[in-house]
Homo-oligomer: A and B are copies of this chain.
Amino acid sequence: MSFTEKLAAHASRVQSLLDAYMSFEADTAVSQAMRYAVQGGKGFRGFLVMESTAMFGIDPERAIWPAAAIEAMHAYSLVHDDLPCMDDDTLRRGRPTVHVKWDEATAVLAGDALQTVAFDLLANMREDAEVRVRLISDLARSSGAEGMVLGQAQDIAAETAETPLTLGEITALQRNKTGALIEWSCAVGPIYVGAVQVNLRRYARALGLAFQIADDILDVEGDSKAVGKRLRKDGDAGKATFVSLLGLEGAKARAAELVAEAEASLEPYGDRAGTLREAARFVISRRM
C-alpha cells in the first residue's frame, strides 16, 4: 500500500466514526454544517494518531477514537478561521466554506459544537479513564489559549503590527497555530502505553514546522484548484512567511532539513517507524 493509499484508508475509517457520531436526531443547519466541515480533508492529524499508536502495537479500533477527535477539533478550527472576521476565506477543501454555504451564525455554532464532539469522543472511548482525562487535558491545552488559539491570536496581531514578524516569531506562532495539534496527535501513542514522549514530540515539532513551510511554498507555487483553497493571499497581504523571509529556495532547504530532523528523531523506534518516516517526506512533497 502506498503512503497516500494508507492516508486515504485511515481517513475513511475516521470519517465513518465521525459520521456515526454526528448522526443527531435533530437535523438542523448546524448539524449539517458540522458533517460537511469534517469531510474532504486529507485526515493528516488523524493519520498521525493512527500511526503513532500502531507503533506501540495498539489496535486501530482503539486508535480511531482519538483520531476522530483530533479531526473534529481541526475541522472546528478551520470553520472559525475561515470566518469573515478572521481569514475571510470562501474556499476550503475545494468547496465553499461553511459561512458561505450557510451563514456566519451557523459557522460559529457548528465550530463550537465540533469542539464538544472532540472532547466527547475522548471521554467515551474504551480506554482506562486515566488515559482519557490525560488526553482530554492535553488536547484542551494544545487547542486553547496557550496552544492553537494563541497561535491564531498571534497571527491576527501580526496583521496589524508595524513591523513584519521575524523568523523566530513566525516559528513560535506556527508551533502554536498548526504545531500544537500535530504534536498532540503524535503523543497519543506514548500516552496510551505510558511511554516517554520526548522523541515523538521532537518528531512532531519538526514535522509540524516542515508542514507549515510546505504550506507557504504551496501558497506561492501551488495550483489553487488542486490545493482546494485560495492561494497567494499571504504575498498579496504583504504578510511575512517562511518564503518571504528565506526565499523560495531557502524555504525548501529549511523544510528538507526539518524532514531530516524528524526522521532522525524516529531512530529509537527502528523499522516500526517506517510509515511516520514516509509521513515526514510526504509533507514536503505534497501538491495539495
Contact = CB atoms under 8 A, between A and B. Distances in A.
A137 interface: yes
A153 B109 contact: yes
Nearest to A87: B105
Contact of A112 (B28, B31, B80, B85): B80
Given A86-B108, A123-B136, A129-B132, A113 B26 contact: no
Contact of A85 (B104, B130, B134): B104
A145 interface: yes
Interface string A104-139: 111011011101110110011000111011101100
A53 interface: no
Interface string A22-54: 101110111100100000000000000000000
A70 B129 CA distance: 21
A237 interface: no
A128 B130 CA distance: 9
Interface in A1-30: 22, 24-26, 28-30
A117 B144 contact: yes
Interface residues of A, number: 51
Most buried by B among A22, A137, A140: A140
Contact of A124 (B34, B137, B144): B137
Contact of A103 (B80, B85, B120): B85
A104 B134 CA distance: 32
Contacts of A156: 105-106, 109
Interface string A151-195: 011101100000000000000000000000000000000000000
A143 interface: yes
Contact of A152 (B83, B85, B109): B109
B30 A149 contact: yes
Contacts of A130: 129
Contacts of A117: 140, 144-145
A133 to B, nearest CB: 5
Contact of A140 (B76, B120, B133): B120
Contacts of A227: none
A108 B108 contact: yes
Contacts of A31: 145, 153
A273 interface: no
27 contacts: A24-B146, A26-B146, A28-B145, A28-B150, A28-B157, A30-B149, A31-B145, A76-B112, A80-B109, A83-B108, A86-B108, A105-B156, A106-B156, A109-B153, A113-B145, A113-B149, A115-B115, A115-B116, A116-B141, A116-B144, A116-B149, A119-B136, A119-B137, A120-B140, A120-B144, A123-B140, A129-B130
